[in-house]
Structure 1
Amino acid sequence: MQTQTFHWISSFLEAQAAELGAATNTLLAYGRDLKDFDVFLSRRGSDFMQAAKADVEAYLVHCDAQGLAKSTRARRLSAIKQLYRFAFEEGLRTDNPAIQIAGPGQDKRLPKILSEAEVDALLEAARASGRSQADQTRNTCLMELLYATGMRVSELVGLPISATRGDPRLLLIMGKGGKERMVPLSPPARTALTEWLLMRDKQDEAAQAKRLPVSRHLFPSRGASGHLTRHRFYLLIKEFAVAGGVDPAKVTPHTLRHAFATHLLAHGADLRAIQTMLGHADVATTEIYTHVLEERLSELVLEHHPLAKEGKRKSAGRISSDGQ
């Protein structure tokens, strides 16, 4: 396998594990599928960087000719689509050759939903989680910023401390492909950020007194990256879920991003504004949240409306007849 190909696949799988909490078996399947696609491309004198829509379509025809099941072909296309979406967001490519290719009859999966009460439970758990006051203050800031802005986890953990100085009502985020966007902060997020900055300043003063270097990151770490890793934050948010009584299977950094969007939409926010805050290049990507909201509203009606229950529906019919 070429170095470039290995870098693409390994980086993609790392992001899937850290941001979406993909299971080990899922990651292994994605890895096998993408290696198979890479072999097919190499036979055509191409690779991940050069592949066009026609190459992806030819690969699907190849898979069909091999007699692969529809579910297997759908999974392979899903892996390719997600790889190229990741590559586009990371700036590895300026286009997505698989975006308009329809799968073999697979339904589009909607993102998992966290209720506002569940998010509140996660935030409360973060405030009480940690071995020290510094840990608790940092954890609170992490969660408040994530929920207030809908940032990608890579954007959150990699925030430079310089981006948080100045006006605390707005946060400058460096998105995928080097694109910057300004996102407003909620009052709880501003408070959490202010408290963490005070603690960070004290840490920097202590380091300078010992003639040690200070970190340029808002959430520093001793690791090679210099900041909290996506994987470490993924583990933290699972800990918050357990502590807060929220099903850990529902909670990943990405579901907090989904919660940000769906809760804003539920409270009347404009779809274009949500698109801008999420950093989506195309509003079509953001429109999935309208489907999430519609599905949730339908569930609420079926669960709680008195006429949705068969017994009461019959009773209502009798009342209507008596009244005529």
Structure 2
Amino acid sequence: MSGDGVDAFLEMQAAERGAALNTISAYARDLGDMMQALHARGISPLDAGEGDLRDYLSGLARQGLAPRTQARRLSCLKQYFLFLAREGLRPDNPAALLEAPRLDTPLPRFLSEAEVTTLLAACEPEGDATPARRRRLLMARAALEMLYASGLRISELLSLPRRALDAAPGMMLVRGKGGRERMVPMSARARAAARTLMDLDAGRKSPYLFPGRGAARPMTRQGFDRIMHDVALRAGLDPQRLSPHVLRHSFATHLLAHGADLRALQVLLGHADIATTQIYTHVMLDRLRDAVAQHHPLSAMHDAAAT
């Protein structure tokens, strides 16, 4: 184990918590930035106190880093110093009592149900479409149907193997964050769109449902974004409003609007903590407000008195 425990900490995140490579890289950058700031003051992370870490975090604010970035850095520090304490590299966790900056919680951006319908209709190939054009639109249709029907993350969609559709009818097995697996719903429309794409791609011999230019690798996020941009224009939508996460938000928002339970939504989205799912409660609040307006006796009396 290195003297500052960083390498061991990163190995633990990967081995025990199944952290993704991007997460590990972000932790390494965040800890490297903190180490540089502490070393500039002649302080080792094994000796740093709560005041030293407060000074470091204050410096982030003075540099103009966004509150969300500051909160992410603090989360990394808390985990790192807790790891040092548990491994006996220092007797305490100086980050334990540090508080993250207040964060505004923006409402999730989503499409209306009518806009989703228009978007899917825009994926219909023209009668004189070239084979390449036809495949591109059928791929877009399969991807959009699956994202909207199941609330998948884009990383989950693009890494789907062809055998993902072999699960029980109406369901699909997905490997999400941290390697956690979950079953997600798969509508008949989405399954049919995916099967059409699979039949078209049978000659590619790719293990992926959405293969990239090289059959051995899945489509890249950049390639997928270009397809979404084109489809948005065909549908008459601002491409800036369309992204895989907007479709995930649309899936969740529309489910809640039609009466779905928040706990069920947590499972469908693969959220480890229901607090993450609660960003969608704005839909439930609207529904509750409408219910009171329609059914509460005093609300009815108020409406009658106003007329």
TM-score (norm 1): 0.64
Q: What residue in structure 1 maps to residue 213 of structure 2?
A: 222
Q: What residue in structure 1 maps to residue 239 of structure 2?
A: 248
CA contact (8 A) 1:40 1:59 kept: no
Q: Shift of the alpha carbon at 1:105?
A: 3.5
Q: Shift of the alpha carbon at 1:179?
A: 1.3
CA contact (8 A) 2:171 2:183 kept: yes
CA distance in 2, matches of 1:121, 1:297: 29
CA distance in 1, matches of 2:45, 2:305: 73
Aligned residues: 259
Q: Does 1:262 align with 2:253?
A: yes
Q: Does 1:122 align with 2:158?
A: no
Q: What residue in structure 1 maps to residue 140 of structure 2?
A: 139
SS at match of 1:132: helix
Q: Does 1:153 align with 2:154?
A: yes
- Name which of 56, 69, 74 aligns with 2:67: 74
Q: Does 1:106 align with 2:100?
A: no
SS at match of 1:281: coil
Q: Which amino acid aligns with 2:253?
A: T
Call closer, same or farther: CA 1:119–1:293 in 2, change over 3 Å.
Answer: farther
Q: Which amino acid aligns with 2:159?
A: G
Q: What residue in structure 2 maps to residue 28 of structure 1?
A: none
CA contact (8 A) 2:154 2:244 kept: yes
Q: Which amino acid aligns with 2:178?
A: G
Identity score, percent: 38
Call closer, same or farther: CA 1:9–1:285 in 2, change over 3 Å.
Answer: closer
Q: Which amino acid aligns with 1:74?
A: P
Cα-to-partner distance string for 1:110-142 (whole Å, 9 max, x where unaligned): 221221122222222233498432222221111
Q: What residue in structure 2 maps to residue 22 of structure 1?
A: none
Q: Which amino acid aligns with 2:268?
A: M
CA distance in 1, matches of 2:51, 2:66: 11
Q: Does 1:237 align with 2:228?
A: yes
Q: Shift of the alpha carbon at 1:253?
A: 1.0
RMSD: 4.4
Q: Does 1:188 align with 2:189?
A: yes
CA distance in 1, matches of 2:50, 2:242: 33
SS at match of 1:127: coil
SS at match of 2:122: helix
Q: What residue in structure 2 maps to residue 208 of structure 1?
A: none
CA contact (8 A) 1:169 1:184 kept: yes
CA distance in 2, matches of 1:139, 1:154: 16
CA distance in 2, matches of 1:189, 1:76: 37
Q: Shift of the alpha carbon at 1:288?
A: 1.3
Cα-to-partner distance string for 1:279-298 (whole Å, 9 max, x where unaligned): 11111111111135536998
Select between 122-131 and 147-156 the one with higher mean Cα deviation.
122-131
SS at match of 1:172: strand
SS at match of 2:172: strand
Q: What residue in structure 1 maps to residue 56 of structure 2?
A: 62
CA distance in 1, matches of 2:245, 2:207: 25
CA distance in 2, matches of 1:60, 1:119: 46
Call closer, same or farther: CA 1:57–1:176 in 2, change over 3 Å.
Answer: farther
CA distance in 1, matches of 2:235, 2:159: 26
Select between 176-185 and 67-76 the one with higher mean Cα deviation.
67-76
Call closer, same or farther: CA 1:58–1:257 in 2, change over 3 Å.
Answer: farther
Q: Shift of the alpha carbon at 1:278?
A: 0.8
CA distance in 2, matches of 1:78, 1:123: 38
Select between 286-295 and 159-168 the one with higher mean Cα deviation.
286-295
Q: Shift of the alpha carbon at 1:45?
A: 3.8
SS at match of 2:201: helix
Call closer, same or farther: CA 1:278–1:83 in 2, change over 3 Å.
Answer: farther
CA distance in 2, matches of 1:182, 1:196: 22
Q: Does 1:200 align with 2:204?
A: no
CA contact (8 A) 1:33 1:76 kept: no
Q: Does 1:275 align with 2:266?
A: yes
Call closer, same or farther: CA 1:32–1:166 in 2, change over 3 Å.
Answer: closer
Q: Which amino acid aligns with 2:258?
A: H
CA distance in 2, matches of 1:102, 1:198: 54
Select between 164-173 and 177-186 the one with higher mean Cα deviation.
164-173
Cα-to-partner distance string for 1:205-252 (whole Å, 9 max, x where unaligned): xxxxxxxxx211111123497110122112222222222122222221
